Structure 1
Amino acid sequence: MWDERFDREDYVYGEQPNTFLTEQWQQLELAANPGGVLCLAEGEGRNAVYLATLGHDVICVDLSEVGLKKAKLLADKHGVIINTEKADLATYETKANFYQAVVMIFAHTPPAIRRRSLNQARKALGRDGYLILEGYSAAQIGRGTGGPVTTDMMFDEQELRTVFADDEILVCREIERDIREGAFHSGIGSVVQFVARKTEPSS
């Protein structure tokens, strides 16, 4: 499905980074001390490329070979280097206690894979590392402005709080906002926004 969606000349979610990501990155001042960043379900690479322009060492993980090729082209366009890795989040294993940040932007998957991905994201973070996540909530169903068509694919505040219960949760909210990201995110959407700082290393 994703190879088919990405197999077109334009970037289906646009070339600009997600605005929640850029706002949080600036507030947390993560660009002041560039480090390793893991972008999960990163698609065509718009967020990974943005972070690379800030000097970060970025790994862009996605299931779609087509999306990753476009990510490389976008990086070339901006004169930066990103690392790409084709992987299924159902089985992908991250390095433990390693990254400055993990980014999950509209990384919608079935429930079991979503929960596993969240746990892998936490595992990947070094101490004081940040998860930055935005995704559609169940209230998005029926809007027609983006996202999956079933509630089980959506993000939920309580699930996020549970996975990061031992950490510092900086942002956890469900809001409506106008999203303009290419052809497939266009209009008012109901989203969950979440930022957590890992306070204890993974065992």
Structure 2
Amino acid sequence: MSLPDWNARYSASEFAYGTEPNSFLKQHADLLLDPVLSIAEGEGRNAVYLASQGWQVHAVDNSSVGLAKAAKLAADRNVVITTEVADLQTFAPEPNAYGGVVSIYAHLSSSIRARLYPLLVQTMKPGGILILEAYAENQRGRGTGGPSDPDLLLTCGKVERDLIGLETMLLQETEREVLEGKFHTGMASVIQYIGKKSS
């Protein structure tokens, strides 16, 4: 199954996933170091939250419409973020550039993960932190959010295979209620991961 047309999804005046940050990210954000790279940022809810807490945030997404809303949300909340329209199939962040990387519901194919995840590790500075939450394969069929293609969903094993070079601080599959706009609503099976790059 193909992914949504993100420009179309974000073209409505309402925010598809709300304007409040992801709760897992909010719970662990104090681990992050400056600056922070947020991939598949969409309409900016997580980047704007982090900026409001004092981080320098660079938000990357393939949707120009989503990032325009992110910039407006930042302005409305009197914070500054930088944005970059980029396809994660080809996106290549600069090595040793970020103290934190955030991946919240960035559902990527196995081929994209195999290329991108090592680059995310390389872009992290020593001691940097990566925070990830995504729907698990067990989320299929629930109707509360996420793609139906299992290749786009995660397991703990996939994370361990694809995110090499970080010390695992947390890796779990858990059930939790996700309340993030109209597309992520209800009990869900999610993968949560926090990794640290050695100093």
Check whether TM > 0.5: yes
Structure 1 residue ranges without an equivalent (≥5): none
Task: Tell me by how many angstroms 1:116 deviates.
Answer: 2.1
Contact 2:102 2:130 in 1 (8 A): yes
- The letter for the 1-side match of 2:19 is E
Task: Tell me by how many angstroms 1:51 deviates.
Answer: 0.6
Once the two structures are superposed, residues 132-152 of structure 1 have per-residue CA deviations (whole angstroms, 9 ceiling, x without a partner) of 000001100000000001111
Trace 1:119-138 onto structure 2 (pairs within 5 A): 119-138=118-137
Once the two structures are superposed, residues 43-70 of structure 1 have per-residue CA deviations (whole angstroms, 9 ceiling, x without a partner) of 0010000111111111000000100000
Contact 1:37 1:99 in 2 (8 A): yes
Q: Which residue of 1 aligns with 2:21?
A: 17
Q: Which residue of 1 aligns with 2:160?
A: 161
Q: Which residue of 1 aligns with 2:8?
A: 4
Task: Tell me by how many angstroms 1:25 deviates.
Answer: 1.4
**Two-structure CA RMSD over aligned residues (Å):** 1.2
Please give the alpha-carbon distance, in whole angstroms, between the structure 2 residues aligned to 1:143 and 1:185.
11
Q: Percent identity?
A: 42
Structure 2 residue ranges without an equivalent (≥5): none
Contact 1:45 1:68 in 2 (8 A): yes
Trace 1:1-203 onto structure 2 (pairs within 5 A): 1-26=5-30, 28=31, 30=32, 35-199=34-198
Once the two structures are superposed, residues 39-98 of structure 1 have per-residue CA deviations (whole angstroms, 9 ceiling, x without a partner) of 001100100001111111110000001000000011011100100000000001101112
The runs of 4+ residues in structure 1 deviating greater than 3 Å are 163-166
Query: Secondary structure of 1:35's match?
Result: coil
Q: How many residues align?
A: 195
Please give the alpha-carbon distance, in whole angstroms, between the structure 2 residues aligned to 1:160 and 1:55.
29
- The letter for the 1-side match of 2:131 is I
Please give the alpha-carbon distance, in whole angstroms, between the structure 1 residues aligned to 2:60 and 2:164.
25
- The letter for the 1-side match of 2:10 is F
